């Protein structure tokens, strides 16, 4: 069942579940674009192809809030808002070790195929984020992260580089009991046509987050 947070003629805001791709990779793995196009087709009895614009992505094993554009105009304006940093994405993450203070990471990232890494020189792309410490438990820290840039695997790479890899991150940390402890908690942006400020939030309740639900 699809958890729809908001829908109008221009937008569709939904929860992406862990294990679902943002868009098809050519395999039989479920993906949000295909699922939501079928949802729109069935709900409105639309014949033929259905337009749905993908304006941002979440990794397969990251759940949370996503917005899709139901018109090309909405897609264009949302993409422009992302480029102009007027589209705010906030994440929750649980990382290894104790972080005592709120802070900011600013590094230069380089990408090689499906992996990114911090470059010791400035030949990479600038990656910035700030974080707020919410709680510590069992030598792990729950943080709220505001992305200032949107680089490939940015949160995972930067926290790993600064010696606090995310729990369950097999690529940049170590294998864990549950999928990676990263969740797209909040989206804030202006409606592409009315300009009304919109804000959508979801709280994670599964995996590693089960031990921290009372702190958010």
Q: What is the pLDDT of residues 138-178, one digit of tens each?
A: 999 999 999 998 888 999 999 999 999 999 999 998 888 99
Domain 4-202, CATH: 3.30.2350.10
Q: Are 136 and 98 in contact (CB under 8 A)?
A: yes
State the pLDDT at residue 132: 97
Beta bridge partners of 144: 92, 132
- Whether 28 shows a pLDDT value over 90: the answer reads no
- Per DSSP, the chain holds a count of helices (H) and strands (E) of 3, 11
93-107, 114-128, 192-206 — which is least confidently predicted? Answer: 114-128
Model pTM score: 0.92
Per-residue pLDDT averaged across 33-47, rounded? 92
State the pLDDT at residue 117: 87
Query: Distance between CA atoms of 82 and 126, rounded to whole angstroms?
Result: 16
State the pLDDT at residue 216: 65
Average pLDDT, rounded, for the chain? 93
pLDDT in tens, 70-98: 999 999 999 999 999 899 999 999 999 99
State the pLDDT at residue 122: 76
Query: Distance between CA atoms of 139 and 160, rounded to whole angstroms?
Result: 16
Please give the residue that has the higher pLDDT: either 29 or 96: 96
Q: Where are the domains of the chain?
A: 4-202
Query: Distance between CA atoms of 32 and 213, rounded to whole angstroms?
Result: 26
- Whether 215 shows a pLDDT value over 80: the answer reads no
- Whether 15 shows a pLDDT value over 90: the answer reads yes
SS3 sequence of 137-156: ECCEEEEEEEECCCCCCHHH
Which residue has tokens 């010696």? 163
- Whether 42 shows a pLDDT value over 70: the answer reads yes
Within 10 angstroms of residue 66's Cβ, the number of other Cβ atoms is 23
Catalytic residues: 59
């Amino acid at each position: 069942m699809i958890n729809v947070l908001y829908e109008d003629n221009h937008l569709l805001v939904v929860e992406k579940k862990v294990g679902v791709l943002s868009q098809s990779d050519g395999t039989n793995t479920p993906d949000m674009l295909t699922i939501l196009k079928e949802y729109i087709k069935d709900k409105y009895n639309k014949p033929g192809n259905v337009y749905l614009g993908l304006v941002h992505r979440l990794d397969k094993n990251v759940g949370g809030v996503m917005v899709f554009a139901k018109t090309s105009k909405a897609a264009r304006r949302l993409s422009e808002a992302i480029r102009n940093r007027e589209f705010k994405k906030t994440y929750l993450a649980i990382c290894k070790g104790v972080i005592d203070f709120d802070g900011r990471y600013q590094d230069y990232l380089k990408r090689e195929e499906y992996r990114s890494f911090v470059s010791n020189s400035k030949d990479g792309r600038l990656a910035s984020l700030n974080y707020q410490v919410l709680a510590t438990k069992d030598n792990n820290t729950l943080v709220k992260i505001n992305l200032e840039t949107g680089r490939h695997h940015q949160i995972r790479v930067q926290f790993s580089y600064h010696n606090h890899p995310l729990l369950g991150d097999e690529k940049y940390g170590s294998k864990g009991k549950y999928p990676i402890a990263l969740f797209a908690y909040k989206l804030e942006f202006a409606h592409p046509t009315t300009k009304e400020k919109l804000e959508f939030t979801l709280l994670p309740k599964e995996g590693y987050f089960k031990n921290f639900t009372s702190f958010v």
